[in-house]
Each structure stands twice: as structure tokens, then as C-alpha cells.
Structure 1
Amino acid sequence: MSWLSQKKEWWGIKSIILTCNTVMGAEGEESIEERYFISSLPMRIEETERAVRGHWMVESYHWHLDVTFREDGNHTLEKQASYNLNIMRKLSLNILKLIEVGSKALSMKKKRYAIGTNPEKHLETILNL
């Protein structure tokens, strides 16, 4: 934590938050990740917990948009078309989160692929959401 010595330079800092997250690896191994957040929030656990969870919920959503739909690779220049594509990706992502495809849990990318290969099979389920 050598960076902590720089805290005098951070204007408005009121708290440093440490979260410990248990992460499951691809092989089923468990590891613990420590994340630090520098915050202007007062040290009230309920407020900081809500802020950290909210931050990671947004990060997770954007990660899914990039990984599942390769949004960062899209270079649509026309503003309205880009806006419309963004809405369609978000709508599609929300549908993928709600729908079950097959008998086992699939990643968002695999769900998208499965629905894309046989859309008629899944159409009724999607329309009934």
C-alpha cells in the first residue's frame, strides 16, 4: 500500500474502502481479490457498500456489452444509427439475462449464439417475457 502515502494530494478524500471478493476460476479454484476504492463518501458502511455495488453493476453491464456484442469495436459514424444500435444491444442483453436456453446455464455469448442459430425455437419464449 505504498500509494497511501500520496493521500494528502487527493482533494476531498474521506475514506479508503477495501473489498475482499471471492472469485471462482475456470478450473473451479477459489481465490480472493482485494480491491481498494478511494472515496469522498463519509465512512458509513451502508452508503459505501451501495456505491461499490452500484459501480460494479455498471462495470459488469458495460463489460457484457463489449464482450457479448463487441460494442467497443463498432465504429458507426451516423449519430442516430449509433444511438439506435446501442438501444438494441441493451435490450438484447436484458433479454439474454432473462431467458433460459437449453437445460444448463450458458454464458451470454453462448446464449446469443444458440438463439441466433435457431431463432424460431426461442421466439415464443422471448415474446412472452
Structure 2
Amino acid sequence: MNRDRGFKKWEMSIMIPEHVTMANQWRKEDEYINKPDLSEWDLQVIQEKLELSMKMKCETDIKVWGNGQIEIHRGTISKINHNNRQLFYSDPFEVKCGPINLDDIVDILAVEFIEF
């Protein structure tokens, strides 16, 4: 049985460490996402969704921008601190999470569970 690795055995031997460093840097630059520029209307919609999700105590997906990436946090909003502009939530396993900076929130989506 021939266990030849094919192209993989030559792939990294051709590249010198400088090439690998540059390739990793290019990949990071390609994956970088600029912070979305939200209008006043978008911010108002986010605020309304935050208040509604907190009052209904429903599970929400909170999209947060940070370090060139958009992360999604899922949980029930437990507290909003307007003075420090922070949000606290509990994840689906009832673990307290946060704080999330309110200025980094890009979008909020209420998760609905339909029972049959």
C-alpha cells in the first residue's frame, strides 16, 4: 500500500519562513472586517430591540464587533448599565456573561423557538 502524501510533502518545503509569515499576514488582512458605520436609525432600532428583548426575557443573538471580527453572543439579557454603556447577559447554560460594550453592538436578533 502506497502512503504517498502527494503535494503536501512539497508544499511547506518550498516556502521559507518569510513567505509563511507574509502568507499569514495576508490572511489576517483578508479576514479583517471594518467596523460597520451605523446610522442614527440603526442605533435606534438596536436600542428598541435591546429593551424589548430585556422585557420579554427571550434568548437573543447579539452581534458584536471587536478586533476586526464579528462575534455572536447568545443569551438572555439580564442588565444594561447606561452609565458605563455595558450590557450583561446569561448564556443558555445560565452562566453570567459580560460585560459587552454597547458601542460595539452591531445587530440584535431575538431567537424564537417554535414548539410543535
Q: TM-score range by the shorter chain?
A: under 0.3
Return the structure number with greater strand share. 2
Could you tell me the TM-score, scaled by structure 1's length? 0.25
> Which is helix-richer, 1 or 2?
1
Q: What TM-score do you get using the length of structure 2 for normalisation? A: 0.27
Structure label with greater radius of gyration: 2
- Higher RCO (C-alpha 8 Å, min separation 6): 2
